[in-house]
Amino acid sequence: MGCENFSEFKLLEPLNRAIRDVGYSVPTPVQVQSIPPLMAGRDLLGCAQTGTGKTAAFALPILQHMATVRGQRRKGYVRALIVTPTRELAAQIDQSMKDYSRYTNVTGAVIFGGVGQNPQVRALERGVDILVATPGRLLDLMNQGHLRLDSVEIFVLDEADRMLDMGFLPDIKRILAKLPAKRQTMFFSATMPPDIVRLARTMVRDPVSVDVTPDIPVVELIDQRLMFVERKDKVALLERLLRENGVNRSLVFTRTKHGANKIVRILDRAGIRALAIHGNKAQSARTKALEDFRTGRVRVLVATDIAARGIDVEGISHVVNFDIPNVPETYVHRIGRTARAGNAGISVSFCDSEERSYVRDIEKLLRHPIPVVSDHPYHSEAAAKSTQLAPPQGQRGHGRPQGERRARPQNQQGNRRPGNPRRSERSGARRGNSDFRQSRPGQSQPTR
């Protein structure tokens, strides 16, 4: 099934106008396969990664429905609910909704922790068409009586595999129990392991299945480079790399929050402005750091894996793995922050002697070796030849950072501990109170 432009979907003119404003022309494969059946009211089971255009794939049919099928707005009720694992992804989806709906009367709000709940409660009191939420704050406001799900017509679960990774399955089950049986359900996940498939079967009815594997996998568009270096020389190598021509906007990944803060301090002293983002940062600081990075006010963002998924910032030229991740799939998620929307990108991984085994695991997943760059002043032959199999220094057990508590699934996300419905996951976003009608042309580009 082919589709050369968005006009073939027969969307309302206000939506087509907004699509033109944000610069979309040719739909992506996930949009081509998803939008027609969703507009026909079908449930959908989608296997698609971030960066494939899936946000617009579910957002546009929802907005079409909201704009054509009128519903009564009542205090504490919503008509469409989108649940996503992290505050940053919720903020991003909310921004996309604003951009797509700017010429309609569709209203919406985004709710999550890390910010005060009062503005969010006031938005819900007016009644909204579309609510974007993270699980913890959603359950908190439901338990407080500020929100009911009885009138939900459309339910979207985004990044389902990430939800399970973060321990949100009990929360999802509580949310599902409050939804009406008669609804349209859209289920999206980047991967489909057996536990995800089992969850999906409890949610969707006679779904259309969409499995989008890019003709050219994202990792194949990325110029991957591996640099062997002693741990003591990593910062110096990073400084050198960041000063090279063509390194315009860089996302640097570290294993720990302390490590991220330390790198930012060192770079600042070296005259390279950088900001950190991790679970210990206040939501306001995280939001500002992302916005400064997105707008180019700062060109280096140092992050723990809180930013490995759900953050879609255009124009990231380089992803640097200052610490090699001990989970191979995390490497793919990290480097996927560059080479967005078919563009090229560069990833550079610094490997010391104690991380060599992690590189082997990553190369097994990729099914090819990562090209080695040895033409730099800090090249370490000892690291390159290392057969070290033990976890890196400062790690114990399954690669958990020493000195940190046993990792809860939500630890770095700042999200709430599973099994405790009264505790907020502190999932936040740029705004606690949003109305899609407040959007204006000229806002930042949304993710698709």
Tell me the per-residue pLDDT of 72-129, one tens digit each, with 9 for 90 and over. 778 889 999 999 998 888 988 999 999 999 999 999 999 998 788 999 999 999 889 9
**Taking residues 380-394, what's their average pLDDT?**
65
Is 70 a residue whose pLDDT tops 90? no
pLDDT range class, residue 386, cuts 50, 70, 90: confident
Please name the helix (run of DSSP H) or strand (run of DSSP E) that holds residue 228, with its range, or none.
strand 222-228
- Render pLDDT for 293-333 as a digit per residue (tens, 0 to 9): 989 999 999 999 865 555 678 889 999 999 999 888 788 88
pLDDT band at 426 (very low <50, low <70, confident <90, very high): very low
Q: Which of 14-23, 339-348, 432-441 shows the lowest per-residue confidence on average (mean pLDDT)?
A: 432-441
Q: What is the mean pLDDT of the chain?
A: 82
CB-neighbour burial class of residue 317 (10 A; exposed 0-12, middle 13-18, buried 19+)? middle
User: What per-residue confidence (pLDDT) applies to 311?
Assistant: 65
On whether the CB atoms of residues 298 and 276 are closer than 8 A, the answer is no
Query: pLDDT (tens digit, 9 = 90+) per residue, 219-267?
Result: 777 899 999 999 999 999 999 999 998 899 999 999 999 999 999 999 9
- Return the pLDDT at 218: 62
Do residues 38 and 186 touch, judged by C-beta distance below 8 A? yes
Percent of the chain with pLDDT over 90: 55
- Average confidence (pLDDT) over 167-177: 93
Q: Find out whether 55 and 446 touch, Cβ atoms under 8 Å.
A: yes
Identify the residue whose tokens are 């690291």.
383
Nearest to 254 by CA among 325, 331, 354: 325
More confident residue, 99 or 434: 99
Q: Which of 256, 277, 282 is nearest to 113 (CA)?
A: 282
pLDDT value of position 327: 82
Of 67-71, 138-142, 347-351, minimum mean pLDDT range: 67-71
Q: 329 or 390: whose pLDDT is higher?
A: 329
Taking CA atoms, 328 is separated from 282, 321, 364, 366, 390, in Å, by: 29, 12, 9, 9, 16
* Per-residue model confidence (pLDDT) at position 4: 66
